[in-house]
Amino acid sequence: MTASRQQLSQREIEGVLRQYQVGTVHNIRELPEGSLYSPKVILDTERGTLLLKRRARGLDMPALVAFGHEVVLGCQRNGLCVPPLVGTKEDNSSFVQFSDHVYELFVFIEGQRFDYANPNHAFEMGSLLVETHGAMDRVQTTFPPATEPESIDLARLNAINPIEHLLPPKLSEDVPRIIGYAHELAQANAPSPALVHGDWHPGNMIFRNDALVAVCDFDNTRIGSRLRELAQSLVHVSMVTPSPGQRGAEIAVEPDAARLVSFWNGYRDAGGSENARTAVGLMPGVMLDEALASLGTTPNEHHGAMLSAVWRKAAWIDENQARLIDRLNH
C-alpha cells in the first residue's frame, strides 16, 4: 500500500506563524512535492512569498536540524544559492518546535522543476555538485553532524530475508554480489569523509530556463562519502522515469545516456576529480543499497516489486559498465 502525503493543518500553520514576523497572510497553498512525510505550504504574506515545512520524523532532532542549518547558512555565506531561512521574531531561531514537531520557514524561490528533456539541466546539476562540495569545505559547524561511516552498508542485505520468497531467484544471487563489489570498490577508493548534501537529485533543484539557480533540502546533510554522492547523483539524474500508469516491469532499464553524459561533463568541467570507472562501478551497488534502506523493518509484497524493479536497472548497469564508462570518457 502506498503511503499518502501528509498535510499541514490550519492549527499547525497558525501556531507556527505566531512565532514569526510575517504580517498578513494573503494566501496559503499546498506544495505537494518532495517527501510524503515532510508536508509544505507556500505562503503569500506581507513579508513576501515564503515556504513553511514540517521536518519528517527521524530528521527532526533539534541538534540535527541546527547542524543542517549551520551548513545551509555557511554555504550561503560562501556564495551558494540556497533558499534563505527566516528567523523567529523573538530570538532569530532558524526553526520552531510546535506540538512535538519541528518546522522551518524559508524565503520561497520561484523557478521551474528539472526538465528531463533538457540536457543543460543535467549539466548544471553536475557542475553545481562540485561547487556545493567546495562551499561545504569552508563551512564551520558547532553542532554534532550526522554521519554515514560506510559508503555501502552490507548489513542491509539482511532486509531481503523476509521477502526472499517474493523475489526472482537471480535477484537473490545478484544483489549480494553487486553490493559486495560496490563495498570493496568504495573501500579501495574511499576519500576522507566530508560534508555531503545527502539528497542530490532533480527534485531538489530550482531552474530558470537553462540555469540552475538554487539547491534546496539539506535535511540529509551529513559527514559521508562524496564518491557515493556522485554515484547516487548519476543514478538519479539518468534513470528513466515511469509514464502515468506504467508498471515497474515496463520501464526501460538502461539509463538515459544523454543526461548521464551531460551531468558527467558538468561535473568534470567544474573540476570534479573522480574518475568514470569508479563512479559507474558504484552505481549498481548504490542503487540497491538505497532500495534496501527503504524497506524498513517490515518488508512486504509492495517492497518486493520495488526491489525487483531496482534490481533490473542495477543489473543492466552492472553488465554494461564498460559501455557507460566509454561514453563518459569520450
Q: Within a domain: residue 167?
A: yes
Same domain, 315 and 188: yes
Final residue of a structural domain among 77, 107, 137: 107
Supply the DSSP string of 270-288, one letter for each residue: TT----HHHHHHHHHHHHH
pLDDT of 150 reads 79
- Name the one residue in this structure whose C-alpha cell is 537471480: 170
Q: Does residue 59 sit within a domain?
A: yes
Domain count along the chain: 2
**Both 90 and 220 in a single domain?**
no
- Asked if residue 190 belongs to a domain, the reply is yes
Q: Are residues 160 and 306 in the same domain?
A: yes
User: What pLDDT does 304 receive?
Assistant: 83
Q: Which of 107, 127, 142 is the last residue of a domain?
A: 107
pLDDT in tens, the chain (330 residues): 557 899 999 999 999 999 999 999 999 999 998 889 999 999 999 999 999 999 999 999 999 999 999 999 999 999 999 999 999 999 999 999 999 999 999 999 999 999 999 999 999 999 999 999 999 999 999 999 989 877 898 999 988 888 888 888 899 899 999 999 999 999 998 788 999 999 999 999 999 999 999 999 999 999 999 999 999 999 999 988 777 776 666 778 999 999 999 999 999 999 999 999 999 999 999 999 999 988 876 777 778 888 888 999 999 999 999 999 999 998
Q: What's the count of helices (H) and strands (E) in the chain, helices before strands?
A: 9, 9
| Calpha distance 102→89 (Å, rounded) | 17
Q: Do both 100 and 124 map to the same domain? A: no
Phi, psi of 133 (to 5 degrees): -60, -40
Assess whether 305 and 180 both reside in one domain: yes
- How far is Cα 102 from Cα 216, in angstroms, rounded to an integer? 17
4: in domain: no
Same domain, 129 and 81: no
| DSSP state at residue 96 | E
pLDDT of residue 246: 67
CATH code of the domain covering residue 223: 3.90.1200.10
Residue 38's CATH number: 3.30.200.20
Integer CA distances (angstroms), 269 to 97, 128, 212, 238, 273, in order: 42, 11, 16, 18, 10
Q: Is residue 86 part of a domain?
A: yes
Same domain, 63 and 181: no
* 113 is a domain residue: no
In which domain, by residue range, is 250 found? 119-328
70/202 same-domain check = no
- Which SS3 state, helix, strand or coil, does residue 232 take? helix
Is 313 found in the same domain as 219? yes
Report yes or no on 296 lying in a domain: yes
DSSP string, 141-166: --SPPPB---SS-GGGGGGGGGGGGG
What gap in Å lies between CA 217 and CA 197, rounded to an integer?
8
270 within a domain of the structure (yes/no): yes
* Last residue within a domain, chosen from 84, 107, 130: 107
Residues 241 and 135: their CA atoms lie apart, in Å, by 31
Are both 143 and 33 inside the same structural domain?
no
Q: Within this chain, do residues 143 and 62 fall inside the same structural domain, yes or no?
A: no
Same domain, 85 and 128: no
Task: Give pLDDT, residue 302.
Answer: 78
